[in-house]
Amino acid sequence: MRKQFMACFLLIAAIHIQAQDNKMNGFISTLMSKMTVDEKIGQLNLVTPGGAVTGSVVSQDVDEKIRQGKVGGLFGITGPEKVRQAQDIAVQHSRLHIPLLFGLDVIHGLETVFPIPLAMSCTWDTVLIQKSARIAAAEASADGLDWTFSPMVDIARDPRWGRVAEGSGEDPCLGSAIAAAMVRGYQGKDLAQKDALMACVKHFALYGAAEAGREYNTVDMSRIKMYQYYLPPYKAAVDAGVGSVMTSFNEIDGIPATGNKWLLTDLLRNEWKFKGLVVSDYTSLSEMTAHGMGDLQTVSALAMNAGLDMDMVAEGYLTTLKQSLKKGRVTEKQVDQACRRVLEAKYKLGLFTDPYRRMNAERASAEILSATNRNAARETAEHSFVLLKNGEQVLPLKKSGTIALIGPLASNHRNMLGTWSVAGDPSKSVSVLEGIKNVAGTSVNILYAKGANISDDSVLVAHTNVFGPEIEPETRKPEDMLNEAVAAAEKSDVVVAVLGEAADMTGESSSRADISIPESQETLLKALVKTGKPVVLVLFNGRPLTLEWENQHVNAILDAWFGGTEAGNAIADVLFGDYNPSGKLSMSFPVSVGQIPVYYNAKNTGRPYDGKGSPKFKSDYLDIPNDPLYPFGYGLSYTHFSYSGLVPDHTQISPRHPIQVKLTVSNTGNYDGEETVQLYIRDMVASVTQPVKELKKFQKVWLKKGESKEVVFTLNTDDLKFVNSQLHWVYEPGAFKVFVGGNSRDVLEITLNGIR
């Protein structure tokens, strides 16, 4: 009965969707029958008047082009007035009155800025993450925006690459869950909703594997590696119904992504059945010339033949497609198809019904930066912080006594929001100093001193300050600043040093070869440690840093990333124990840059070194260990969780008999708290070598102090699949290890037998 009901329901839903599609197709066909070739090509042109974007070129004569029907969409502008102005030109003054599509990089919130994506991924909480995307969509749509260039889901194993800040770290399982949650959050139930944004998964594909972590660098990898590790998060976004896909700057198998037919047509359209819009990244189309693929006309034709619909900023389509049509380098059918996809996106977003449907001043003033949104940002930030060390339980701090609050990031608004917060207003953010005052009130005596500049390296400062003065070197001498800080430390019970990177030391075009805390601040930290006072290091960073010295000499380390608008309050909540930290790393922290790439799901090699016996002729280094300083999944709590009793309900797993794995997690410490229980597998023998561990499941459990809970995971043979040499996901029977723990290193283990 239930099955029949379901079947009937699905049939009715399918008929309804078909009817809607027919209506849309009819509308678009009628519209396209009135369009000239120039107008069709115009729809493929995505321009920016400059401002909140990155890149050396900005579009010219934007208003006139809109009037002439030479623009399909506009991006990179903030504020409803500008959106309205441009939309007015399109719908009132262009021949066919086709509305524009408005995009923006709404990456971690609009004006209520959430933690940077790498931080959010450390919550391992897809409910919170989805909620953050929903709030971002509600705020952005109220300002008239339709489209966000998010989520960025590039798997990254190299923290030198600045854009690790924008993604979810190194793991495909976690990354996929987050990708889907973000898409659901932005797009809501229906793209036509007035508070929905069309999401754009990026950067398709493999951008996170840029060689040596150098921005925009080349990528080369095997198909097996792509399929098993790098492609799943993009696929998860597609499966979640993402409306658009952005191509990446890099090449894949020697062909830039923007002109790569295998990627955009064979894989994305044919294998993954993606039906939405494909847009290039900023001038990635014309950059194919520098890649060595030919002149603008040639690369534009290449992109059209590959399956690219919309050209961001390069105007290669606008200026050359007509000639290519004449020469037969592209077909009218291809241009029609691309134009149709742009119009479909506009139709689904409801723009033909009402081009101003998203703009809503009343909703904007009620929602943007509302108390509810700020509370959500504060909660997300608290959950994203990772406690890396807590020696002698120096944290949480007492709400009494004297605290020396030291560091260039301690009383700083400019750097709270992190990279890609284009509509965020730093002056609306809460600094750490303000947060501590808000949370601890007057019961704590705070002695604040800046102590050092973020960096004294003028080249780094100039490079970082492209969007404004994030690093503002003082006229005071470094020794004077340092002495003031040390004097404050000496008068205090505990030192809280707020150090790290400026916001734009990560993000686009922010690769670093040395990923330590900048030297000026290291000098300060060493002087603070020398005072003998307990030192708590609160870190601002958009990437894993090398922290070996800090780990040895500082009492506690709290990684606060870039926490967004409410960062200061959230940091204070955690420092004083109002919230017990629960974040877990989504990316390994290397001991030194020499280890990079270091990631948990590595292969065993034929000569693995397990740390026992002589390492000679084993896979290791003479001068550093193999293991990272802090592994994937790692993060402490003020309480302690112990794991016991890992048992399967039976030991033979088969396609028809999933296995349940049970264990007990106990809170044996002194605080209530939340733990993320992680399940990894290892396929012991397979036709393609498999990693020593792979995350397959995770669950969050909240335990009162003294409480124990049973945690149950169900594993089926789909969870045991890998990509074989024919690039198929397959399950091969045999022995599998299952590991469960609070990080990827410290785990309980059992063995299962997989059968047919």
Q: Is the dihedral of CA 333, 336, 341, 342 positive or negative?
A: positive
16's enclosing H/E stretch is helix 2-33
**Integer Cα distance of 564 and 76 in angstroms:** 20
* C-alpha distances in Å from residue 20, one per residue of 15, 329, 344, 362: 9, 34, 12, 31
**Integer Cα distance of 238 and 179 in angstroms:** 9
Nearer to ligand NOJ, 144 or 507 (CB): 507
* C-alpha distances in Å from residue 94, one per residue of 35, 97, 114, 225, 338: 12, 5, 38, 48, 20
User: Within a 10 A sphere around the Cβ of 443, how many other Cβ atoms?
Assistant: 9
Q: Which residue has the tokens 């590039």?
A: 154
- Rounded-to-5 percentages of helix, strand, coil across the chain: 35, 20, 45
The DSSP call for residue 88 is H
Nearer to ligand NOJ, 102 or 641 (CB): 102
Nearer to ligand NOJ, 208 or 408 (CB): 208
Shortest spacing between CB 310 and ligand NOJ, in angstroms = 12
Shortest spacing between CB 439 and ligand NOJ, in angstroms = 35
Size of the chain, expressed as the number of residues it contains: 756
Tokens of 35: 């369009």
How far is residue 412 CA from its own chain's centroid? 24
Nearer to ligand NOJ, 202 or 357 (CB): 202
Radius of gyration of the chain (CA): 26
* C-alpha distances in Å from residue 583, one per residue of 548, 629, 701: 20, 17, 13
Nearer to ligand NOJ, 281 or 470 (CB): 281
How many helices (H) and strands (E) would you count in the chain? Answer: 22, 26
Nearer to ligand NOJ, 151 or 568 (CB): 151
Known catalytic residues?
281
Nearer to ligand NOJ, 54 or 654 (CB): 54
Pairing of strands 694-703, 673-683: antiparallel
* C-alpha distances in Å from residue 580, one per residue of 372, 387, 571, 710: 21, 10, 11, 21
Shortest spacing between CB 216 and ligand NOJ, in angstroms = 9
Shortest spacing between CB 207 and ligand NOJ, in angstroms = 8
Shortest spacing between CB 75 and ligand NOJ, in angstroms = 6
List residues near ligand NOJ by CB under 6 A: 53-54, 76, 105, 149, 202, 281-282, 508
Nearer to ligand NOJ, 78 or 300 (CB): 78
User: Within a 10 A sphere around the Cβ of 79, how many other Cβ atoms?
Assistant: 12
Query: Which DSSP string do the residues of 350-377 spell out, in sequence order?
Result: TTTT-TTSS--HHHHHHHTT-HHHHHHH
Q: Which residue has the tokens 């016996």?
A: 613
Determine the residue with CB nearest ligand NOJ. 149
Nearer to ligand NOJ, 151 or 742 (CB): 151
**Integer Cα distance of 358 and 138 in angstroms:** 9
**Integer Cα distance of 290 and 140 in angstroms:** 35
Pairing of strands 45-47, 73-75: parallel
Shortest spacing between CB 540 and ligand NOJ, in angstroms = 22
Shortest spacing between CB 60 and ligand NOJ, in angstroms = 17
Tell which residue, 96, 55, 95, has the closest CA to residue 75.
Answer: 55
Q: Identify whether the C-beta of residue 639 lies closer than 8 Å to the C-beta of residue 669.
A: yes
Tell which residue, 583, 573, 518, 577, has the closest CA to residue 550.
Answer: 518
Nearer to ligand NOJ, 244 or 429 (CB): 244
Shortest spacing between CB 420 and ligand NOJ, in angstroms = 8
Shortest spacing between CB 42 and ligand NOJ, in angstroms = 20
Shortest spacing between CB 249 and ligand NOJ, in angstroms = 7
Shortest spacing between CB 102 and ligand NOJ, in angstroms = 13
Q: At what angle do helices 126-142 and 172-187 cross, to 10 degrees?
A: 40
Nearer to ligand NOJ, 215 or 434 (CB): 215
HSE on the CB side for 194, CA within 13 Å? 14
